[in-house]
Structure 1
């Protein structure tokens, strides 16, 4: 590539990264919290902010949420403290983590002689990373911690003297326990161990390169106190979280012990389909390059390190049926680092940039197309507009009810005031109240409501999923 083309490429990278980062920030405010996962974690953070209970997570008032540690909830609740309760405030910490990670990777890859913006471009054009660069999710914090652990370990192995990276390894490990629990060890220790065996790194070197005593003390101080307090204030948490979430969830198909939903049962090996789909197009390019270099990849310490990092997570989840596409988020980082490492060897760089731009370009067109046509609100998987458009005043004898099950977005956007009606007896009870009653029903469940009650319901608004009615007693 000529110098002129290289400069043009660098300009394209800078503009693309800036545009995508701004667009992703806009999305944090323009799109309501979506059901079920995102609005669930948003509601848990809102309850934490409201109740000031920073130890026991609650999925509803007085109902503990044992499924995840608190890191992502803490940072969303702190964001509410700073900016007030909104979807943007809920998502901003995740967006900030993504930006910090992109900066770290840009500095980390300077030795490759490529643009500071190249790893950011690759990641922001990868579906999984772009989606999570501003989503209320435990996976964003987990991926951030895994990236810091893996990069810190590599940097520690390369330096003769202790630097901030040597201690950041243990800090990230402690934060990882608070992000998603012991799974942080499962996703980082095996690839590091395999790399150590392959490269025949001596145990003495491992011992000397990291401040183990001080470091493990730092990890313990960061992570252990919350686990102790959580079990003390909510007995049963450790058994459910350690045994249920870390063993039964992954080893028992359709696990019935899930207190907060149902298992996401998938065919065995589905994680690889997720990888190919949600890391497009970069995973395909990396796989092709690895195949071409298959005879030499394990002779290169850096490449082999990234390969173990990349493949361990999907290999581990291959045996599990209870998986989500979000599980591949941590491996988007080694994919990007491998692309950067080989970037100089690619002849058709401009073609790669164009192909990489396909997914974000489609997302941008769909977003603005939906916004301009007015269809965006209708197709959002959220009850935000159904509720907010009615201007329900819960302080003035007005109430919101859901038929059978209330949505997490309904809880969030009603500030926890949404209630449920599960049978006709309860329906008769609320109809006897001297209250203005708003009633939300999933469109597919409307047929389950007896006709006598349907006759009393006045349709106010609807989207593709739900409808909101005004209940008018006779």
Structure 2
């Protein structure tokens, strides 16, 4: 029996299966053990925590009574529901994104299995791609967008290649509705152009659209899913639609250094940086895919499946090429076409060992760094989070006020269960010291020198990490 098992394990399929399971378990470990990180991840977790606490499910809030207009609530809903099931903790906040990515892996596994590839191959490629692995267990709106884009594109392909109209045509519109709840009109920007161009390669495909898709019913499905939330959000928080539609979907990408951003400084980047992000966070698979596409460049558009994937892959970086206010997360939606193209070319490579080793490079680096931090006891000091310091203070069980100097960390809000308050200037700090004989003051180390000396002299350093210090009044 052992001999049979070892023989099976040597096969590529069993290696893929084992690798996928280990990678998911490792990602589960990271999901549960690493604290919520400032600024973005902890912010979305805190928004979900406030939603769970206040039972305000329509308008997300960054702080009590402060609406968050930058993103629709789909990812926030998933984390808030997870809090109901698992309690309020980092694992619960992140678990939905891990589950969503596993669903994407299963969906893609079923797709390629029917084409003769291993069911586990998509999981291996995706989980060894930096951008996808990072987002498998991170509180982010990008994961729900990825799911929506993936379901929408695969549904379109399946519907167009079916003999008659089937449920995939309805799933296309369901995915479109979910996309509006994940990141708004961006779902159309990322999917409609490549689908339109693909249809233009063969005008008969436009005729198929009307026979394969129940367009009127589909639009109705999308509207039923998406419109109610937008309506009620504007009713409860007037001004949301103008900020979200015009600001977040036009000015953010067109105006360099856009000053209307209510939730952080725009990330001004060099033009075309999206291509560098793609090469870095799609490693090593995107490089291999581009190599194969170049070798087969003359026949790319002769194969409808390859042309479909190439347009899906290239459209997003082309669209964001002229945008300066972008992040590496913007390339997440193209991790799936990179993977599907890699699956298509997988059998062209004789030495699978080289592919396995290349793929496992990034997870191995993360593994070494993680256990290195754990072994040396530096995990709590090197993480961009206030969790460990607040836990050592036992802040949730102490009746001592917690204040942040000039700027609150979202991790501080989350791990104090919303007890963190803000003091912006010397006058407010004077008032706090008069009202409370004892209080904690948290500050970024770079802002510590701005604390008035007469106040700082009355405090004692209680705890610190590489970025933040906590003082307690004497």
TM-score range, shorter chain: over 0.9
Q: Residue 107 of structure 2: which of 78, 101, 104 is its match? A: 104
Q: State how 1:139-178 maps to structure 2 within 5 Å.
A: 139-178=142-181
The answer to whether the aligner puts 1:221 opposite 2:230 as a matched pair is no
What's the counterpart of residue 30 of structure 2? 27
What's the counterpart of residue 464 of structure 1? 466
Structure 1 262/316 Cα, relative in aligned 2: closer, same or farther at 3 Å? same
Per-residue deviation, residues 397-454 of structure 1 (Å, max 9, x unmatched): 3110111101111111111110111111111111112443111111111111222222
Deviation at 1:5, TM superposition (A): 9.4
Q: State how 1:74-473 maps to structure 2 within 5 Å.
A: 74-393=77-396, 397-472=399-474
Q: Secondary structure at the match of 2:38?
A: coil
Per-residue deviation, residues 290-329 of structure 1 (Å, max 9, x unmatched): 1100111111000000000000000000010000000000
Q: Secondary structure at the match of 1:235?
A: coil
Structure 1, unmatched stretches of 5+, are none
Regions of 4+ moved over 3 Å: 4-7
Q: For 1:360 and 1:6, locate their aligned partners in 2 and report how far apart those are by CA, in whole Å.
A: 21
Q: For 2:8 and 2:196, locate their aligned partners in 1 and report how far apart those are by CA, in whole Å.
A: 41
Q: For 1:115 and 1:384, locate their aligned partners in 2 and report how far apart those are by CA, in whole Å.
A: 41
Q: For 1:77 and 1:214, locate their aligned partners in 2 and report how far apart those are by CA, in whole Å.
A: 31
8 Å contact from structure 2 (residues 9, 15) kept in 1: no
**Aligned residue pair count:** 468
8 Å contact from structure 1 (residues 128, 326) kept in 2: yes
Structure 2, unmatched stretches of 5+, are 1-6
What's the counterpart of residue 10 of structure 1? 13
Per-residue deviation, residues 213-255 of structure 1 (Å, max 9, x unmatched): 2111111100000000000111000000000000000000010
Per-residue deviation, residues 353-397 of structure 1 (Å, max 9, x unmatched): 111100001101111111111111111011111111101246x53
Q: For 1:425 and 1:201, locate their aligned partners in 2 and report how far apart those are by CA, in whole Å.
A: 71
Q: For 1:386 and 1:441, locate their aligned partners in 2 and report how far apart those are by CA, in whole Å.
A: 12
Q: For 1:342 and 1:455, locate their aligned partners in 2 and report how far apart those are by CA, in whole Å.
A: 66
Q: Secondary structure at the match of 1:255?
A: coil
Q: For 1:381 and 1:199, locate their aligned partners in 2 and report how far apart those are by CA, in whole Å.
A: 51
Deviation at 1:28, TM superposition (A): 1.1
8 Å contact from structure 1 (residues 401, 438) kept in 2: yes
